A and B are shown apart, each in its own frame.
Chain A
Amino acid sequence: MYYLWVFLIGGAICAIGELLIIKTNITSARILVTFVLVGVLLEAFGIFDPIAEFARAGVNVPIVGFGASLAKGAIGAVKSRGLIGAFTGGLEATAAGIAAAVGFAFLFGLIFHSRTKK
């Protein structure tokens, strides 16, 4: 039944994003930046993990999860390796996502042609 939580919480986070768009005419870049920051802060204050326990993909799939794993990576690496961890931890934890996004964008960018502007 945890799919219900995934759906409700994931949906609610997206609806908050949409609400911001409607109310402030904010651009999608700002939306993404805001939600990443929210994720970093939630993780830094230890609020993210208790939510993620029952919301699972509901908070991990939205971009707040990306922010949270950046912070989680940095915190974990600092604890195990000290100062260098603050610089390596964040990207280490999110490397898969960033590499996949850039890699697939490059691949499909080469293969396909823009359909929106013709």
Chain B
Amino acid sequence: MDEKKRNEAYNKYVKAKIPKTRPWPSLFNSFWIGGLICCLGQGINDLILLWFPNMAEQTAWAYTLIVLIFLASFLTGIGVYDRIGKFAGGGTIVPITGFSNSITSPALEFKHEGIIYGLCVKMFTIAGPVIVVGIVSSILVGLVYLFI
């Protein structure tokens, strides 16, 4: 069998083996779980502003995100977040909690390779590109605004 045919057969085999996610239920799940996480964030933000009415709006949002990041990181540590993630897909990836999960999860997984080369390095396997793209684009936006 020549190479091309073999590759075709292999691709067909892989396609057959990939678990099929039925689109509508998974879209629905990520919708309501993602929405719920956002509502949780809004609730935390409202509580902070209720307790500290003089706090600047931006500071209150920063605290809100810190609380959400803490919760997601903790839930990842005890193995709960990934279980929700299997069910919710995009609903747990897209919110800031997913960013937190994407840092904590590889940190845990690669800890056995050492604190520096495992935990500290692998922490940024997913967050790294996110931070790089974010910083580079924010510099570009800043430069554009400097000249207009």
Residue positions of A touching B, CB distance < 8 A:
2-3, 6-22, 28-29, 31-33, 35-37, 40-41, 43-44, 56-58, 60-63, 65-67, 70-71, 73-75, 77-79, 82-83, 85-87, 89-91, 94, 96-98, 100-102, 104-117
Contact = CB atoms under 8 A, between A and B. Distances in A.
Secondary structure at the B interface, as helix, strand, loop or mixed, is: helix
Interface string B50-71: 0000000000011111101110
Interface residues of B, number: 76
Contacts of B99: 32, 63, 66, 97, 101
Nearest to A60: B61
B131 interface: yes
A33 B41 contact: no
B42 A105 contact: no
Most interface-central of A90, A98, A109, A113 (chain B CB within 10 A):
A109
Nearest to A99: B66
B104 to A, nearest CB: 4
A62 B42 CA distance: 12
A22 B27 contact: yes
A49 to B, nearest CB: 12
A92 B134 CA distance: 13
